[in-house]
Each structure stands twice: as C-alpha cells, then as structure tokens.
Structure 1
C-alpha cells in the first residue's frame, strides 16, 4: 500500500509548464506534436462527441434586453452628465484659485455660477424629455372591459341604423310597394 502511494506521487510530479499544458490538452483529448502524444487523427483519440463532452464555455452570452432608457432621454442624460462634470471641474478650479490668491478666482466663480444654471437646465431637460417621450410613446393602452362593452354597443347601434337605411332604400326602389297607408 505504501509503495502505491509513493509511486502515484512520483508519477504526478512534473514541471509546472508540462502539468498545465498536459492537463489542458488531455482535457481536449489531444497532445501537441512537440510533446509527442496522440494528436488529431492519431490512434487513441476519442470521437468528436466524446472530445467536446468536457467543453464548457467561459461565459454565456445573453441577448441584451431593451435599453433602460429611450434614445432621446439617454442623449439628454449624457448631455446633463457632461455639463455637470464641467461645472464640478470649474467649481474645483475656482476654489483652488481662491486659495492660491490668483486673479483667475473671480472669473472662475462667475463661470461656475453660469455653469450651475446650465447644469440645472440640463437636468430639467432630462426630466422634460422623459415626460414627453412617455406621453408620446410610452403608454400602452389596453381597452378595459367597460370600454369594450361600450364599443360593442356602439357597433351594434350603427349596424341597426345601416340595416334600417338599407331597408328604406329597398322600399323606395320598389316604388313604395309594401308601405302602410296613412288613412
């Protein structure tokens, strides 16, 4: 029993490169020509189905869902993020210029105020664009049962009116035959 264990350990010891390469190629059921083992088309290679049995992809691609935001809303959001980023950079530069006592402090503060107004406008633009898109395209209306019933009654009423008009036309074409007398 002890000699089996020692033999197994001695057989498993290889250089790290051979070990990794050997395991990966053994997994695929082939050896590269430079290692001298069985390769594609050589004796001892398993059939195609058996060879791919151990194959597992590293990841599985899942088809993308719809975009979380419609394109116009996404464009407005990107604009808003860019304007806000510029505003934050201007605020930081204005603060640092103020600490350094630079002449650029006052112009940067003024441009920071203007950028803050623009950033607020950009955020409001995202909100308005989202509302407009929702009103135009976002509502999927399914008629309720009461709406269906009302529509059904309206159609039946129109059918009766058209049938009555056809009957009157038919009577008129016959020359008034079949009309009740008014005596």
Structure 2
C-alpha cells in the first residue's frame, strides 16, 4: 500500500465507501454480492494470521566466543573505515590533521586485519574443541559388527565348555 492510498481527506472515511473498504476494483463489479462477501471474509481471516511463523534454524547460531570476536572485528573495521575517510577528507582539505589521521588509519588497518584473523582462529579452535560430531563411518560400523559377532561366538564356545564340565565330563566329547 503506497502513501497515496493511505492518505485521504478527513471527510472521506472508508466507512462511507463500501467498495473501498472491500478493496473492489472495476473487474469486481460483475461478481455477485455473495461472492464479494465471501472474499471480504477471507481477507479478514488472512489479516488475523501471524506476521511470520518461527521455523527452526537449519544452521546453529555462532558460538559465543566466535560471536564476540566477530562483533569486536566489525566494530574495529567500522572505526578503521571512518578513520580512513577522515584521513582522505583531511588530505583533500590540506589540513594539518591529515598526516596523523593517515598514520592512525594504517595502524588501525593492521589491528582490523588482526581482528579478522582472530575471528577465524577463534572459530577454528572452537570447532576443534567442541564442534566434532563423532559418527562412525560404515566401514567402522561393519568392523565393529564383525568383532561383536566374534566375541559372541567365543562366549558361546566358553559357555558350551562350562556346560560340558558341569555335566561331569572330563572335557572329552566321547567316552572311549
């Protein structure tokens, strides 16, 4: 809705214009009144819907240390850009402040570069410490399955030997 549509003279209220209230256009005049009423009710239902629907984020938000480093880097970069602009304007104006501003801009650029590298390093360190999700590969899973089957067979063989010993046998399968 543009500003021209929002502004109207005080004597022209929307209550006095049923067509304006329903938002009818020239092409709507051939629709029967019942159809227009249903359209208007649908518009009212749509206006009651929430403005947005919260959806779960696919990516997790940045960890706190990384976010802190990123905010710090953005602030330093902003100050550096302002200093560079002031240095340029002072140089154009042939002011005595130009030389100190250029020197501080160069120093600030070094600090800003360091801040960006700090964000990268902090992110890498955080991922190394906390970000590793341990999911075994299919090969590792197959090897574990084979090991478990072997151990199960060994335990079954031990149980069978115990059962034979308990029955009074001398460990031999035949009594010859």
TM-score under structure 1 normalisation? 0.57
Q: Where do 5+ consecutive residues of structure 1 fail to align? A: 1-14, 28-50
Alignment correspondent of 1:92: 85
Residue 179 of structure 1 aligns to a residue whose secondary structure is: coil
> Higher RCO, 1 or 2 (CA under 8 Å, sep at least 6)?
2
Partners of 1:64 and 1:78 in 2: CA distance: 25
The structure with the larger Rg is: 1
Partners of 1:17 and 1:137 in 2: CA distance: 66
Partners of 2:156 and 2:138 in 1: CA distance: 27
Partners of 2:76 and 2:128 in 1: CA distance: 26
Offset of 1:112 from its aligned partner? 1.9
Partners of 2:154 and 2:120 in 1: CA distance: 49
Offset of 1:81 from its aligned partner? 1.1
C-alpha distance after superposition, 1:110-149 (max 9, x if no partner) = 3222211111111112222333344445454544432321
Offset of 1:77 from its aligned partner? 2.1
Offset of 1:94 from its aligned partner? 2.5
Partners of 1:178 and 1:169 in 2: CA distance: 11
8 A contact 2:161–2:171 mirrored in 1 = no
Is 1:76 paired with 2:69?
yes
Paired residues, what number? 144
Cα RMSD, aligned residues only: 3.8
TM-score under structure 2 normalisation? 0.58
Alignment correspondent of 1:60: 51
Partners of 1:169 and 1:123 in 2: CA distance: 68
